Amino acid sequence: MNFSHFAILAQESAPVAPPTQPQGGLGQMMPMMILMMVIFYFVLIRPQRKQAKELEQKREGIQIGDDVVTIGGIHGRVTNKADRTVTVKVADNTKIKFEKTAINQVFPNNKEKEAVVVEPEEESAEK
């Protein structure tokens, strides 16, 4: 046999540490879990609900003539609207009917807006 094997087997083992009492328990873990849930709510859930609510309001406010983008990435202009569906014109002689929930972005086409003309201020002749 090889002498190195005996040398390894003959070495002393590390001293065994005395058993310790369990640290903490359910009483210390619960406040940390509650704190993590509160942070999770304010960082993830609350902003997501707010964003979903805003998108739903935009979907309900869709008007004929608005430009929209669907969840599939199709761009077009709304030509007809019903309770649950909208018809979107994507090209000449091409119209597709979508559920309102398939609309991802709405770009209102406000034709009522008038261009605001800013006139330069007159400089006074006195200097």
CB atoms within 10 A of CB 43: 10
Q: What share of the chain in percent tops pLDDT 90?
A: 54
Q: What is the pLDDT of residue 70?
A: 94
Q: What residues have CB less than 8 Å from 100, skipping those under 6 apart?
A: 59, 60, 62, 84, 85, 86
Name the token pair of 113.
């807006």
As beta bridge partners, residue 107 has: 67
Query: Band of the pLDDT at 1, cuts 50, 70, 90?
Result: low
> By the 8 A CB rule, do 61 and 107 touch?
no
Per-residue model confidence as pLDDT tens digits over 27-62? 788 999 999 999 999 999 999 999 999 989 988 899
Say how far apart CA 48 and CA 102 lie, in whole Å: 18
Residue 57 backbone zone (phi > 0: left; psi -120 to 50: alpha; other: beta): alpha
Q: What is the pLDDT of residue 18?
A: 73
Q: What is the pLDDT of residue 111?
A: 59
Is the pLDDT reported for residue 113 higher than 90? no
30-107 to CATH, choices 3.30.310, 2.30.30, 1.10.287, 1.10.3470: 2.30.30
Q: What is the pLDDT of residue 81?
A: 93
Question: In the chain, where are the structural domains located?
Answer: 30-107
Mean pLDDT of the chain: 81
Q: Which of 119, 75, 118, 120 is nearest to 98 (CA)?
A: 75
